[in-house]
Amino acid sequence: MDETNESGKTVGAVERAFSVIASLRETGAMTVSELARALDIPTSTAHVHLKTLRSLGYVVKEDGAYRLSFRFLRDGGTVRQRRHIYRSGREEIDALATKTGEVANLGVEENGQRVLLYQSEGSEAVYDNAPTGEYTNMHWTALGKSLLAHLPPTRVDEIIETHGLTVTTKRTIATREELSAELEAVRDRGYALEDEERRNGIRSVAVPLRVDDRTIGAISISGPKNRLNDERIDGVLLEELYDAANIITVRYAYE
């Protein structure tokens, strides 16, 4: 067994189990043979992993195929509920969505990626299929850029080295030089913009959540580019974001 130690070795069986989980997450459901082909492993090995995960309650078998169970929803919900930033920000994110009619978001950085911790949809919201708990590259989104802008340059370099600067649209930041200039602009103006850099037709504006010179997260408003124009961002949305950020950070610091 390849037991992990300080040299950086990992446990192969655990890695394989999470490869199974990732495959089921991406496809929705798979038979034993489909999983075996996808991971290029023997059918017997795929069956053992699925059987083990099923016995632990993390996989369910339906109509001859296997899918992830709602136990992951329970575990993720428990982890999120324990985060002070989530408890401090949830009500204000709901209020932002109600006031603006758009999608309001709360995000944090974990392992060099933006995690969508909470999301609320207003009455006019255009949902872009970003699920709660989604991880994305930081440079794609307003939330991510707002978080990146307040990290030390050495940490930004580490994140780029680990995750790269992959491109999803023709407007995505693709070089370290572009990113440095963008992050400097974010710091100067106090907020981050996302202009069709992850999905065509979608814009977003985000502000950081700062407590005692630490960035504990960021909040944003997202919507179609025709509604999130510069005039509305400058005249309405930024004020709403700053008000919400102030309430969240005060609540975070004192509750």
Residue 25 lies in a domain: yes
* Residue 30 and residue 97 share a domain: no
Q: Label residue 93 by pLDDT band (50, 70, 90).
A: very high
Domain with residue 44: its CATH number is 1.10.10.10
Residue 229 lies in a domain: yes
Neighbours of 72 (CB within 10 A): 14
Residue 1 lies in a domain: no
Average pLDDT, the chain: 93
Q: Label residue 5 by pLDDT band (50, 70, 90).
A: very low
Question: Dihedrals φ, ψ of 135, to 5°?
Answer: -105, 135
Question: Dihedrals φ, ψ of 218, to 5°?
Answer: -150, 155
Tens of pLDDT, residues 22-44 = 999 999 999 999 999 999 999 99
Domain with residue 80: its CATH number is 3.30.450.40
DSSP assignment of 108-158 equals: EEETTEEEEEEEEE-TT-------TT-EEEGGGSHHHHHHHTTS-HHHHHH
Q: At 187, which helix (H) or strand (E)?
A: helix 176-189
Length of the chain counted residue by residue: 255
* Residue 110 and residue 178 share a domain: yes
DSSP state of 56: T
Structure tokens at 45: 């090995």
Residue 211 lies in a domain: yes
* Residue 196 and residue 153 share a domain: yes
Residue 251 has pLDDT above 80, yes or no: yes
pLDDT of residue 8: 64
Looking at 69, 87, 115, the residue that finishes a domain is 69
**Are the beta carbons of 19 and 39 closer than 8 angstroms?**
yes
Looking at 22, 50, 69, the residue that finishes a domain is 69
Q: Residue 18 sits in which domain range?
A: 12-69
Residue 68 has pLDDT above 60, yes or no: yes
Residue 176 lies in a domain: yes
* Residue 143 and residue 222 share a domain: yes
**Are the beta carbons of 45 and 36 closer than 8 angstroms?**
yes
* Residue 172 and residue 55 share a domain: no
* Residue 80 and residue 50 share a domain: no
Q: Label residue 255 by pLDDT band (50, 70, 90).
A: confident
Tally the domains of the chain. Answer: 2
* Residue 106 and residue 43 share a domain: no
* Residue 100 and residue 51 share a domain: no
Tens of pLDDT, residues 153-204 = 999 999 999 999 999 999 999 999 999 999 999 999 999 999 999 999 999 9
pTM for the model: 0.88
* Residue 63 and residue 123 share a domain: no
- Amino acid sitting at position 57: G
Reference 220, options 130, 144, 148; nearest CA is: 144
Residue 6 has pLDDT above 70, yes or no: no
Looking at 43, 69, 95, the residue that finishes a domain is 69
Q: Which of 11-15, 67-71, 97-101, 186-190 has the lowest mean pLDDT?
A: 11-15
Residue 126 has pLDDT above 80, yes or no: no
Distance between CA atoms of residues 168 and 173, nearest Å: 9
Which residue, chain included where needed, has tokens 């060099």?
112
Which residue, chain included where needed, has tokens 């950086």?
8
Residue 7 lies in a domain: no
Residue 20 lies in a domain: yes
* Burial grade of 222 (CB within 10 A; 0-12, 13-18, 19 or more): buried
* Residue 249 and residue 160 share a domain: yes
* Residue 146 and residue 36 share a domain: no
pLDDT of residue 7: 52
Tens of pLDDT, residues 205-233 = 999 999 999 999 999 999 999 999 999 99
Distance between CA atoms of residues 216 and 66, nearest Å: 38
* Residue 106 and residue 65 share a domain: no
Residue 5 lies in a domain: no
